[in-house]
Amino acid sequence: MADAKIVGSAPILLVKNVVASANYYRDKVGFNYERFWGEPPGFCILHRDGFHLMLKQVEDSKYIVPHYKAAENMWNVCFWVNDADKLHSELKSLGAKIDYGLCDQPYGCREFGIQDLDGYDIAFGQDVGESDC
């Protein structure tokens, strides 16, 4: 009998407006979605390259707390990528808000970050060193 394995994950971000946020990720970050759940819409599952990101609309924006507000320079989500330079160029051309540009980190990642409509920092890192991002 084979061991049970985790086969995926999906970070969840609390957002002010799920439709606006989903459209930002679609138009500026290259994610897609098929539908919204709820009436009015309150939840969406985005996907890109086999990875998922979930958005949940909240009534009170006090619950929307980007991690950098609690821990300096901390992202809410980090995606590993195979070519940080190409993805950076793509997202910049789509008009994503670049939070910090391409850089090589001491922990072995070439990375950059964007900021979404709710102020969340999303990092994209490519393993280029001896340690994992």
Q: 66 in a domain, yes or no?
A: yes
What is the rounded average pLDDT for all residues in the chain? Answer: 94
> What is the average pLDDT across 39-67?
96
Q: How many CA atoms lie within 13 A of 118 on its CB side?
A: 29
> What is the average pLDDT across 25-53?
97
Q: 46 in a domain, yes or no?
A: yes
Q: Residue 42 in contact with residue 56, Cβ under 8 Å?
A: yes
Quote the pLDDT of residue 2.
85
Q: 7 in a domain, yes or no?
A: no
Task: Give the total number of structural domains in the chain.
Answer: 1
> What is the average pLDDT across 71-80?
93
pLDDT band, very low/low/confident/very high, at 129 (cuts 50, 70, 90): confident
**Percentage of the chain with pLDDT > 90?**
89
Kindly report the pTM of this predicted structure: 0.91
d(CA 115, CA 37): 24
Q: 54 in a domain, yes or no?
A: yes
d(CA 133, CA 129): 9
